[in-house]
Structure 1
Amino acid sequence: MKKYTAQINNKQLVLVSEDQKEIGRIVELNKFFSSGYYIIFNSRSYDIRNVGFLKNDAELFNSKGVIYFTDLGKERIIKSGADVRIYNFKLSKTNQLFEKGKLLIEVITEEKRKLKYPIYHVEIDESVDGLLALFFLHYSTQEFSSIGGDGD
């Protein structure tokens, strides 16, 4: 597992490695009547759309279609396309993503009272796609995701 940190800076959640290299960022987009998010990874932009009942699920997509989507009811993220994969998550104080029982991503929130925003400590298995890591980081750190958590 590799260690990363993520911190909010100018309405962007930036994920960086231990040697301070940027992996990607989640950008909040505010328009006059709406707001949304998108991910920048490998110089490409991917949109995030909240869907489903109470908008508790999310889809990550680009011009080619949906890449990943969540299923909060069954606590999973699904990779769509030819290579379908199913990941299970657990949302609580420590947010975790698994595939077939193997821990792939762990997000721990460190709330410092001096800072306006929390810092996230993220551990990611070397086999994990950076885009999946950013999508899970976004989903697991949003207010609506706490609906699925058990509050530990």
Structure 2
Amino acid sequence: MKRYTTQINNKQLVLVSEDQKEIGRIVEMNKFFSSGHYIIFNSRSFDIKNVGFLKNDAELFNSRGIIYFTDLGKERIIKSGADVRIYNFKLGKANQLFEKGKLLIEIITEEKKKLKYPTYHVEVDESVDDLLALFFLHYSTQDFSSIGGDGD
């Protein structure tokens, strides 16, 4: 398993490896009339759009189209394109992503009372694309994600 943690840098959530190398970052953009997020990974930008009923689902896309999208009702993330894959997630004290019953990603929140932002500890299976890890980190840590969780 690959082990990552998060750091806050200029209000950006940065995912770093154990040897402190940046894997990618989740950026919040605030414009006068709107706000949103995007991911920077391998020097490329990927946009995130909230969609669906109550905007509880998300799509990750770039100029070529949608890469991953969520289905909160069925608690899954779907990889689109030629190599379609379906991942199931479970949100709770530990946010987990599975494929065919195999745990691929686990995110544990470490909240320190003195810090404004929590630290996330992320364990990722060696076979998982780090872009998926960043997207799941973003999605599972958003305020609306608790709707699908079981509250434990």
**TM-score when normalising by structure 2:** 0.99
SS at match of 1:68: strand
Aligned counterparts of 1:52 and 1:23: Cα–Cα separation in 2: 29
C-alpha displacement at 1:114, in angstroms?
1.3
Q: Which amino acid in 1 is paired with 2:135?
A: F
**Do structure 1's residue 27 and structure 2's residue 27 form an aligned pair?**
yes
SS at match of 2:4: strand
In the other structure, the counterpart of 2:64 is 64
Task: Structure 1: give runs of 5+ residues left out of the alignment.
Answer: none
In the other structure, the counterpart of 2:88 is 88
Identity of aligned residues (%): 89
Deviates more, 1:6-15 or 1:94-103: 6-15
SS at match of 1:50: strand
**Do structure 1's residue 147 and structure 2's residue 147 form an aligned pair?**
yes
Q: Which amino acid in 2 is paired with 1:79?
A: K
Task: Structure 2: give runs of 5+ residues left out of the alignment.
Answer: none
Q: Deviations over 1:13-42 (max 9, x none)?
A: 100000000000000000001000000000
Q: Deviations over 1:44-92 (max 9, x none)?
A: 0000000000000000000000000000000000000000000000000
Contact 1:8 1:118 (C-alpha < 8 Å) held by counterparts: no
Q: Which amino acid in 2 is paired with 1:86?
A: I
In the other structure, the counterpart of 1:50 is 50
Q: Which amino acid in 2 is paired with 1:2?
A: K
C-alpha displacement at 1:116, in angstroms?
1.1
In the other structure, the counterpart of 2:105 is 105
Aligned counterparts of 2:113 and 2:75: Cα–Cα separation in 1: 31
C-alpha displacement at 1:9, in angstroms?
2.5
Aligned counterparts of 1:79 and 1:146: Cα–Cα separation in 2: 22
Tell me how many residue pairs correspond in the alignment.
152
Contact 1:105 1:125 (C-alpha < 8 Å) held by counterparts: yes
Deviates more, 1:3-12 or 1:28-37: 3-12
CA RMSD of aligned residues (A): 0.6
C-alpha displacement at 1:2, in angstroms?
1.4
Deviates more, 1:1-10 or 1:91-100: 1-10
Contact 1:7 1:14 (C-alpha < 8 Å) held by counterparts: yes
